[in-house]
Amino acid sequence: MENKTWTYADRYRHIKEVKIRHTEEKRIQQGGFMNADDYGNVPLPEDYHFTPIPADGDFIGYSGWAENFAAMLEIHPIYVDPIEILCGRWGDQLTKYRKTQGNYMDYRNFPEDRFPYDHLKPGIDLYGIDSGIGSDSHFNSDFNIGIALGWGGFLEKIRKYREIHKGDKEKQEFYDAEEKVVLAIQKWIQKHIDRIEELLKTEDRPEIRATLEEMLACNKNVISKKPETFLEACQYLAWFATVSRIYDRDGAGCWLDQLLYPFYKKDMESGLIDKDKARFILADLLIIDPHYYQLGGCDLEGNDMTNELSWLILEAAHELNTSANLTVRVHDNMDPAFFKKAVSYVFNDRNAWPRFSGHKGMMNYAKNQGVSEKDALERQAVGCGWSAVPGKEFCMNDVIKINCVKVFEVAFQEMMLAYHDAAPTDKEKYAPSLERLYDIYRAHLKRAVKVIADCVEFYNQYQHITMPELVMNLQMYHTLEEGKNISQCAEIYTLCCDGVGLGTLADSFAAIEQRIVREKKLTFEELEETLRNNFAGDERTRLMLSQSERYCQGGDSLGDQWAQRLTRDFAEIVKAQPVAGGKQLVPGWFSWSKTIHFGRQVGATPNGRKAGASVTHGANPTPGFRKDGAATAQATGIALCQPGYGNTAPLQIEFDPKLSAEEGGIDRVAKLLKTHIDMGGTLINVNVLDKDVLMEAHKDPKSHPELVVRVTGFTAYFCTLSEDFRQLVVDRFLDGM
């Protein structure tokens, strides 16, 4: 054994080194690129192999999912690092083994042979819709439930309500499945306990023995009892985060500083922990899986809820100096020192954390029917572009999207075809015009939103069969009490309906208004021809269109005017669409990283974009929209394009401020972010980057293996992204403020 004594600094260094090594191993295992969240999973051993039941992955229902989850945990690798203080990691995900049917969804294996939805496909295809059919998780469980019960408490609750509902066959299957899930989790935890005991037999380093003994005692309690200490609470969170990732990718965390503060305060007062130890425990929680956690915020009276633990969580992430998904909720009465500290980590560490959500904009969630201000306050930022009310809301956030640029293309082609097919006497009636185009666009958008409503209702009928949420159900209200999947018994059904491509769309309408209507430099027929030819041999026209007044250009540009009009009408149309069962749709602008996918669905557009090129991200402007003052203009422009019902239209911004901290760089960035939030901004995903480093890493990803970026709402190591995904970040990059 080595003679060195492991300090906390040594342990942080070790954890990060292991993280970097695992990231590279995963990249190689996955064929070179990952193009997704930087998860906390570890590489799987070469001899690991899971075969679903049945082998073709055609498992459904409560029993099928529970049986397969238990089978996966039975062979899933054990992870205990004696240098850490919490244990457990995940490596595999059950959703990967669902039967591939060659079905129509680009990444979801929905069993459409059992539950066909051919009647919905024409609308999905026509409008480039990501329907949400077959989606997983993407809502938020309430960790307060788990903290109050523990794994043993879940079993007691399941058995209690199984007895109450013993006459209902379907509910008996539900309770049997939930019991099987919890027992499988406890068995897996026990295997970690066994591993810790084995390590203790040979460990002779005093400080490591002490850590392992604490880890052992902690897990012996957590396996069946509710958490009583800060360490136990963090270990419980780590276990839930790990098993929910294994089950179906769930990454929703909690309001972390509020949930853990009572444990922290009690243990600090009793002397069980000090700040250094608490910081290390938190760092271990964050490295086990970068679940999305919220910090800060206020109560209903506007009182700041930042506490000592809020600061410590930021410090823990700083010590790791790797990826993290922490979101600070910013409000009028926030401690300015805490806000500046949070911004300083974005500025100095340059790992794309924390993010910032705007309390003012997020409180608009209360404008939805049946939603209270308390619900809006408690709705936490726990996804890459979304929030959810813990335990109560079924929302399908970030899995439902309309390609609004595709809707525009359908409208433009319909307008021009009607004109060409019109009889000579009707030519004037069907003559193309800007307002006629917009009327047709609105009509098709209404139809697209109706398709979304139909898709949501279809999936809601079958989700409890095709993908029951057996892990997250444990921390939801009414599920265990009623013997139902959360999709059947949520208190709030505010279902996501995100628009995609606002920048492309606004700039296209603006280009038509400027070049055809106002300046008469082009006709609709000429525009139709050059778009059909993808601007071949007509670069002059393409450049003229691309240099029209753009969205986020500022100064009340035509692009800004159109973006605001499009947002107002999008929100109005979405909110006017009824959904069966009293559910409701909530509008947002967010594309995740599907700008590439959605761009391939659409031909050339009037803003000068060529066929197949990516559409703009979320509510972001077209890259190159402005040279000077671009960051400020973008922050202002997007703030004015919030749909206004509590779902986000994130400010996704990447820039090199060209200022050091000593030159006021942190204050400049803080002012930019605060201005956006004060104007009603809902979420800021920010990358402060060094331009030279970014460009070097884009050219040679291995040159900067530790570079972390926030691709959309999620973080990733830049070297793990394919060239087209890296290009998304590079295209959005702003050189200076």
Provide the token pair at 542: 């393409």
Q: Give the chain's end-to-end CA distance (angstroms, integer).
A: 53
**Measured between alpha carbons, how far is 665 from 424 in angstroms, rounded to an integer?**
64
**Encoded amino acid at 162, one letter:** R
What is the predicted pLDDT for the residue at 55? 96
Tell whether the model's pLDDT for residue 658 goes beyond 90. Answer: no
Q: How far is CA 157 from CA 70, 151, 183, 240, in A?
A: 20, 10, 13, 17
**Measured between alpha carbons, how far is 457 from 477 in angstroms, rounded to an integer?**
21
Continuous segment of H or E residues that includes residue 174? helix 169-202
User: Could you give the count of Cα atoms lying within 13 Å of 673 in the half-sphere of its Cβ?
Assistant: 35
> Mean pLDDT across the stretch 92-98?
94
**Measured between alpha carbons, how far is 478 from 492 in angstroms, rounded to an integer?**
12
Task: Characterise 501 by phi-psi region: left (phi > 0), alpha (psi -120 to 50), beta (else).
Answer: left
**Measured between alpha carbons, how far is 336 from 343 in angstroms, rounded to an integer?**
11
Tell whether the model's pLDDT for residue 220 goes beyond 90. Answer: yes
> Which one, of 570, 509, 89, lies nearest residue 285 by Cα?
89
Provide the token pair at 388: 């959810």
For residue 497, list its beta bridge partners.
587
For each of the domains in the chain, give its residue range(s) and CATH number, in order of start.
1-115+142-249 (no CATH), 401-735 (3.20.70.20)
Tell whether the model's pLDDT for residue 104 goes beyond 70. Answer: no
> Mean pLDDT across the stretch 235-260?
98
Provide the token pair at 672: 């930019």
Provide the token pair at 496: 């996501």
Provide the token pair at 397: 């956030």
**Encoded amino acid at 2, one letter:** E
Q: Which residues, 6+ apart, have CB-to-CB distance to 470 below 8 Å?
A: 62, 65, 66, 69, 177, 178, 181, 247
Tell whether the model's pLDDT for residue 103 goes beyond 80. Answer: no
Q: How far is CA 469 from CA 283, 581, 683, in A?
A: 28, 20, 27
| pLDDT digit string, tens, across residues 300-359 | 999 999 999 999 999 999 999 999 999 999 999 999 999 999 999 999 999 999 999 999
For residue 326, list its beta bridge partners.
293
> Which one, of 567, 574, 535, lies nearest residue 551 by Cα?
567
Q: What is the mean pLDDT of the chain?
A: 95
Tell whether the model's pLDDT for residue 505 goes beyond 70. Answer: yes
What is the predicted pLDDT for the residue at 100? 75
> Mean pLDDT across the stretch 673-702?
94
Tell whether the model's pLDDT for residue 361 goes beyond 90. Answer: yes
> Mean pLDDT across the stretch 185-208?
98
* Contact present, 648 and 587 (Cβ < 8 Å): no
> Which one, of 160, 192, 195, 196, lies nearest residue 179 by Cα?
160
Q: Give CA torsion, residues 474, 480, 482, 488, to 10 deg.
A: 20
Three-class SS state of 443: helix
**Measured between alpha carbons, how far is 242 from 284 in angstroms, rounded to an integer?**
13
What is the predicted pLDDT for the residue at 105? 43
> Mean pLDDT across the stretch 490-508?
98
**Measured between alpha carbons, how far is 61 from 532 in angstroms, rounded to an integer?**
48
Tell whether the model's pLDDT for residue 107 goes beyond 60. Answer: no
Provide the token pair at 150: 């523990």
Provide the token pair at 356: 């910032």
75 burial via Cβ count (<10 Å: 0-12, 13-18, 19+):
exposed
Minimum mean pLDDT among 198-212, 555-569, 703-717: which range?
703-717
Q: Which residues, 6+ apart, have CB-to-CB distance to 695 below 8 Å?
A: 730
Q: What pairing do the DSSP bridges indicate for beta strands 401-403 and 252-255? A: unpaired
* Contact present, 264 and 233 (Cβ < 8 Å): no
Residue 577 neighbours by CB distance under 10 Å: 17
684 burial via Cβ count (<10 Å: 0-12, 13-18, 19+):
buried
Provide the token pair at 138: 């993407």
Three-class SS state of 227: coil
Provide the token pair at 24: 């590279």
Answer yes or no: pTM beyond 0.85.
yes
**Measured between alpha carbons, how far is 265 from 309 in angstroms, rounded to an integer?**
9
Tell whether the model's pLDDT for residue 81 goes beyond 60. Answer: yes
Provide the token pair at 257: 């500083």
| pLDDT digit string, tens, across residues 615-637 | 999 999 999 998 888 999 999 99
**Measured between alpha carbons, how far is 189 from 223 in angstroms, rounded to an integer?**
6
Continuous segment of H or E residues that includes residue 656? strand 651-656
Q: How far is CA 579 from CA 458, 644, 691, in A?
A: 11, 19, 47
Full DSSP string of 101-161: ---SSSS----TTTS--TTTHHHHHHHTEE--TT----S---HHHHHHHHHHHHHHHHHHH
> How confident is residue 106, by pLDDT bands cut at 50, 70 and 90?
very low
